[in-house]
């Protein structure tokens, strides 16, 4: 597979298939697990939010993975097993959708919107019932149109598990301008969240980091690892005991209006210790 501009292996091809089978089949081989590690943090944030039934926007949602984990009461291992099952692989698109709709066990205590540049991924997640609404947009380059803005103005909590670094403060601030939602982003250590935090500060946000690091996936090759170690070194990050051992790692940042992010990060840290 080719490398992208960041030095990582490019997985672009798995996000444009009509259904998630190539996505899960490929990412299973590299142990992609960040949505599973993020799941309890997102659940805590949904529970902490004052809205009775918060509307959650997943930025870079692909096939609605974060929503599916919650709505199907599933783990990443469950989804990997399902989409790579020899009995599932030959199913038609329609039969797979039918099977996936039966996996949705509830609403998960929140409404889920997805934002992504991949129309096929969004269409599948919406048809399967993982998402309530889909926003097909590139907010790096364009302001949301009136329909998209209306949906964004409904959002109470913004989440992501790996898109920051590919999307920048341009996307995040365009989302935030309306309803001033809470935000929780898992960001690879090779990327800085500072430009996002600085831009959000201009909208009245405070940002805090939750202690700890979170494994995203294994390196796909020795060449990829070498390139990322060089990137981390140039950015002043020590990879010893982390990326040097063969895994990409992320950090969790929360951003919240009205100067309450530190309190929210402390609550999540306490939850982590209790878990």
DSSP string, 64-83: THHHHHHHTT--HHHHHHHH
Residue 243 token pair: 């990326």
Give the Cα separation of 224 and 56 in Å (integer). Answer: 33
Mean of pLDDT over the chain: 93
Segment 211-231, tens digit of pLDDT: 999 999 999 999 999 999 999
At 271 the pLDDT is: 60
Give the Cα separation of 133 and 138 in Å (integer). Answer: 16
Residue 273 has pLDDT above 60, yes or no: no
Check: CB of residue 221 under 8 Å from CB of residue 9. yes
Question: What is the arithmetic mean of pLDDT over 179-202?
Answer: 96
Question: What is the arithmetic mean of pLDDT over 255-259?
Answer: 89
182 beta partners: 157
What is the helix (H) or strand (E) element at residue 84, kind and residue range? none
Residue 7 has pLDDT above 80, yes or no: no
Residue 117 token pair: 């540049």
Segment 66-117, tens digit of pLDDT: 999 999 999 999 999 999 999 999 999 999 999 999 999 876 689 999 999 9
pTM comes to 0.94
* 6-10, 42-46, 68-72, 167-171, range with the lowest pLDDT: 6-10
At 1 the pLDDT is: 62
Percentage with pLDDT > 70 across the chain = 94
Terminal CA-CA length for the chain:
37
At 21 the pLDDT is: 97
Residue 12 has pLDDT above 90, yes or no: no
Residue 4 has pLDDT above 90, yes or no: no
Percentage with pLDDT > 90 across the chain = 86
Check: CB of residue 155 under 8 Å from CB of residue 113. yes
Question: What is the arithmetic mean of pLDDT over 130-159?
Answer: 97
Residue 268 token pair: 């999540």
Check: CB of residue 24 under 8 Å from CB of residue 79. yes
Residue 179 backbone class (left: φ over 0; alpha: ψ -120 to 50; beta: rest): alpha
Residue 198 has pLDDT above 80, yes or no: yes
At 275 the pLDDT is: 42
The CA distances from residue 52 to 49, 111, 113, 128, in Å, are 8, 11, 16, 25
Give the Cα separation of 69 and 65 in Å (integer). Answer: 6
- pLDDT band at residue 14 under the 50/70/90 scheme: confident
- pLDDT band at residue 9 under the 50/70/90 scheme: low
The CA distances from residue 111 to 71, 114, 115, 134, in Å, are 10, 10, 13, 12
At 239 the pLDDT is: 95
Q: CA torsion sign, 260 to 265 to 266 to 267?
A: positive
3-state secondary structure 203-249: CCEEEEEEEEEEEEEECCCHHHHHHHHHHHHHCCCCCCCCHHHCEEE
Give the Cα separation of 272 and 54 in Å (integer). Answer: 22
60 beta partners: none
- Rg of the chain over Cα atoms, rounded to whole angstroms, equals 18
Residue 249 has pLDDT above 80, yes or no: yes
At 272 the pLDDT is: 59
């Amino acid at each position: 597979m080719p490398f992208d501009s960041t030095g990582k292996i490019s997985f672009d091809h798995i996000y444009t298939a009509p259904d998630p089978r190539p996505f899960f089949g490929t990412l299973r081989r590299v142990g992609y697990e960040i949505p599973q590690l993020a799941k309890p943090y997102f659940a805590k944030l949904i529970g902490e939010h004052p809205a009775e039934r918060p509307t959650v926007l997943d930025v870079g949602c692909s096939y609605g993975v974060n929503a599916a984990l919650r709505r199907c009461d599933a783990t990443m291992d469950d989804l990997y097993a399902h989409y790579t099952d020899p009995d599932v692989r030959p199913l038609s698109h329609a039969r797979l959708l039918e099977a996936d709709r039966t996996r949705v066990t509830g609403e998960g205590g929140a409404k889920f919107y997805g934002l992504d540049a991949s129309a096929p991924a969004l269409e599948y997640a919406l048809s399967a019932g993982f998402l309530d609404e889909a926003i097909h947009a590139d907010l790096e380059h364009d302001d949301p149109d009136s329909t998209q803005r209306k949906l964004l103005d409904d959002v109470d909590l913004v989440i992501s598990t790996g898109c920051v670094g590919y999307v920048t403060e341009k996307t995040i601030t365009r989302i935030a301008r309306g309803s001033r939602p809470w935000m929780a982003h898992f960001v690879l250590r090779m990327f800085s969240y500072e430009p996002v935090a600085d831009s959000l500060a201009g909208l009245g946000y405070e940002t805090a980091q939750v202690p700890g690091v979170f494994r995203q996936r294994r390196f796909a090759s020795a060449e990829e690892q070498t390139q990322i170690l060089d990137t981390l070194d140039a950015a002043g990050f020590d990879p010893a005991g982390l990326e040097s051992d063969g895994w990409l790692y992320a950090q969790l940042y929360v951003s919240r209006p009205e100067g309450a992010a530190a309190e929210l990060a402390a609550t999540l840290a306490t939850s982590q210790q209790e878990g």
